[in-house]
Structure 1
Amino acid sequence: MIVLIADDHALFRYGISLALEGLYGKDVTILQASSAEETRRIAQEAKGLDLILLDLMMPGLNGISDLKKFIDTLPPVPVVIVSGSRQRSTIRSAIECGARGYVLKSSNGEILKHVLPLVLSGELYVPAQAVANEEAAEGYEGSPLDEAGDFNPDFKSLTPRETQVLKLLTLGYSNKEIARSLGMLEGTVKVHVKSIMKKLGVNNRTQAAIAANRSFTRQSPVNM
């Protein structure tokens, strides 16, 4: 797999490179660019390029306003935005401009092992807040279990613990982060996630998050 990391911060490119190498080892070849012009040139010259991880703000690319025009100049390879912006409008606009995914810079590097297979198989990946209720989807502060706002998945088959796990899953938390937040073993979280997906009739974490966010509510909060 050949991945182009496009970001004007060398330290960030280095961090993503380490994450990819940790996940894929010798099976991944990493290319790097620090500007829009360099990104375009490398993307056009690289043979067998599979994916571009693109920052929204760097020399030659001024956020969403330039994104669609820029993506149109690239070869037909999936582009995943990696950005610090959590705004629902930004996330949705990025997808509308042609991005195949959107990853928050605050996410754990392990999230890439869920995102990349989805995108490379032709699916879209967006953080859960992009499909959540407008008020719950905007910026959030506080403890992890408060981040999703008032949460009521209304899935009677879920246990209280599974509901807690699902709530953090919708925020893009990895199994390790969920385990740390809830004081559980990572293996136990994996069992809960598998059970949640089975009960919701979905095939992956993204589908589970989307299903859950359809039931966000401001009237019936779940007591954690």
Structure 2
Amino acid sequence: MQQQQAQKGETHVLLVDARALRRAELAAFLTDWAMENGVAVLAVAPEDLGGMPRPQTSIALGILNLGAGSVKAVAGAEWLQALLGTMPSTPVAVISDLDTAEEVVAALRLGVRGFLPTSTEPAIALRTLSFIMQGGSFFPPTALLEDRPARPQPTGMIDLGLRGVEAARLTLLTPRQQAVLRHLQAGLSNKEIGNLLDLRESAVKDDVRHIMRRLGAANRTQAALAADPDRWPGRPPERNGPI
């Protein structure tokens, strides 16, 4: 299929999808968001990547939409590698119907900066794409699971792939910090989290710092990956009163 033409001088989000109708639908969904971010959507089929007019075309973000395809399959891996090779210094995100640990880890190892399951809420998906385009990284909590045989864990421990962290630490987060962590996992900035929780940005920054310390994370990306709140063992019930 003939690729959509890039306009010289524009900055684009490059959307790659093998299915023409699905590609058109996702491009339409992204159009308003792209305009708000000062970019245009350039939608192409995987076979068109070799004919990209580089370096005249400026790409701010690459997106590979796999649908039910797998990044571990030959075709999916080749498409992703071609996209990464076309723009090695540009962040790339994968959108997929599959969100297993093995799928997320495979994409991560190939060099993507984000992985969005199609089960993601549309508004959150758009904010997450903005976060990735601005230099952030986002992976669902399944990225914490490694594609290796399970091994016995001490009681109350979670294998984070980065280091073991006592599950009890998660329960020591206050309800507000738990809420901040959930939004952090969605890729929101401190300012956006503050707006949602009616907090000053400085207060959110302090909460993020406490969360990182509790989880043993070196940065906010590691903190965002450090736990799935719905799976926290012994999670205390929400309560009213001072936080």
TM bucket, shorter chain: 0.5 to 0.7
Per the alignment, residue 71 of structure 1 pairs with: 80
Secondary structure of the residue aligned to 1:154 is helix
Secondary structure of the residue aligned to 2:133 is helix
Distance 2:78 2:221 in 1: 28
8 Å CA contact 1:153–1:212 kept in 2: the answer is no
Task: Work out which of the residue numbers 80, 84, 90 in structure 1 matches 2:97.
Answer: 84
Counterpart AA for 1:30: V
The yes-or-no answer on 1:101 pairing with 2:114 is yes
Per the alignment, residue 49 of structure 1 pairs with: 59
Moved over 4 A (4+): 43-46, 189-192, 201-205
Distance 2:168 2:130 in 1: 26
8 Å CA contact 1:158–1:196 kept in 2: the answer is no
Deviation at 1:42, TM superposition (A): 3.1
Secondary structure of the residue aligned to 1:16 is helix
8 Å CA contact 1:101–1:125 kept in 2: the answer is yes
The yes-or-no answer on 1:117 pairing with 2:117 is no
Per the alignment, residue 235 of structure 2 pairs with: 221
Deviation at 1:158, TM superposition (A): 3.9
Counterpart AA for 2:29: G
Q: How does 1:53-202 map to 2 (within 5 A)?
A: 53-57=63-67, 63-65=71-73, 66-73=75-82, 74-75=85-86, 76=88, 77-105=90-118, 106-107=120-121, 108=124, 109-118=126-135, 124-131=137-144, 152=167, 154=169, 158-166=173-181, 168-169=182-183, 171-172=185-186, 174=188, 186-188=196-198, 191=201, 193-199=204-210, 200=212
For the structure 1 residues 38 and 62, does the alpha-carbon distance in structure 2 shift closer, same or farther, using more than 3 Å as the test? farther
For the structure 1 residues 161 and 118, does the alpha-carbon distance in structure 2 shift closer, same or farther, using more than 3 Å as the test? same
For the structure 1 residues 53 and 128, does the alpha-carbon distance in structure 2 shift closer, same or farther, using more than 3 Å as the test? same
Distance 1:54 1:153 in 2: 38
Deviation string for 1:60-93 (max 9, x for gaps)?
x764312333333342344211223222211111
Structure with max Cα Rg: 2
Deviation at 1:153, TM superposition (A): 6.4
8 Å CA contact 2:13–2:41 kept in 1: the answer is yes
For the structure 1 residues 37 and 153, does the alpha-carbon distance in structure 2 shift closer, same or farther, using more than 3 Å as the test? farther
Q: Percent identity?
A: 20
Counterpart AA for 1:117: Q
8 Å CA contact 1:169–1:205 kept in 2: the answer is no
Distance 1:153 1:5 in 2: 42
8 Å CA contact 2:102–2:146 kept in 1: the answer is no
Deviation at 1:53, TM superposition (A): 0.7
Secondary structure of the residue aligned to 1:221 is coil
Moved more, 204-213 or 4-13: 204-213
Distance 2:50 2:195 in 1: 44
List runs of 5+ in structure 1 lacking aligned partners.
Answer: 135-150
| Paired residue total | 189
Deviation at 1:173, TM superposition (A): 6.9
TM-score (norm: length of structure 1): 0.64
Per the alignment, residue 209 of structure 1 pairs with: 224
Deviation at 1:162, TM superposition (A): 1.8
Distance 2:169 2:102 in 1: 26
